[in-house]
Each structure stands twice: as C-alpha cells, then as structure tokens.
Amino acid sequence: MKVLIISESNVLGQALKIVMEQKEITVVICDHKEALSKFLTEEPEVVLVCDCEQEGAGEKNWQDITNSASEEKILRCGFSANEDLDYLQFPFKIEDLIERIK
C-alpha cells in the first residue's frame, strides 16, 4: 500500500512516515505546492491531507484531490474540531490512523 502525506511540516511528515513504514506501508511526502501533481504521478491508494483547517492550501488541495480521485481513500487531519468521518483531529492515536487507511 502506498500513502501520500501532504503537509507543510516536514517533521510531521517524517514522523508519520517512520511509523507507517514500520507497518510495511510505503510513504511519499510532499508539501501543498506539489500535492496534486504528486497525487497524479505517484498513484497512492491513500492520501492524508494535513493542515486542512488552513484556508487556501490544505482545504483547496483536499478539494482538488477529492475531485481527481477515483477509488483512492482521502483522509484529512488538523487541529480543528471536525466530526466528518474522513477527518482525524490532532492529537490522534497512530492506531486510529492505521485502522482508517487499511
């Protein structure tokens, strides 16, 4: 399985990558500027869009990727409270993320 992590924070992306690779998940990390092109070229099964509560990049990339997706699972994460099923609020348990991407 391949997961694309879109985040402005390299530290967050690398931390999630380390945990996911221990679960034998391939991870590609990019920032919001290259999100749509990475999504189209890397062909991930799952996309995790971080920084979704930020107007502009996070929200726009989530919309663009959702509109371009066919069967890929698109998840969002951020610090804002949100009850949507595709959203994980920080701090969250890594087990919850792994459960949602599998």
Q: Mind giving me the DSSP string for 36-53?
A: HHHHHHH--SEEEE--TT
pLDDT band at 41 (very low <50, low <70, confident <90, very high): very high
Q: What is the mean pLDDT of the chain?
A: 88
43-89 pLDDT, tens digit per residue, is: 999 999 987 666 666 677 777 888 888 899 999 998 888 888 889 89
For 2-94, CATH gives: 3.40.50.2300
pTM of the model: 0.88
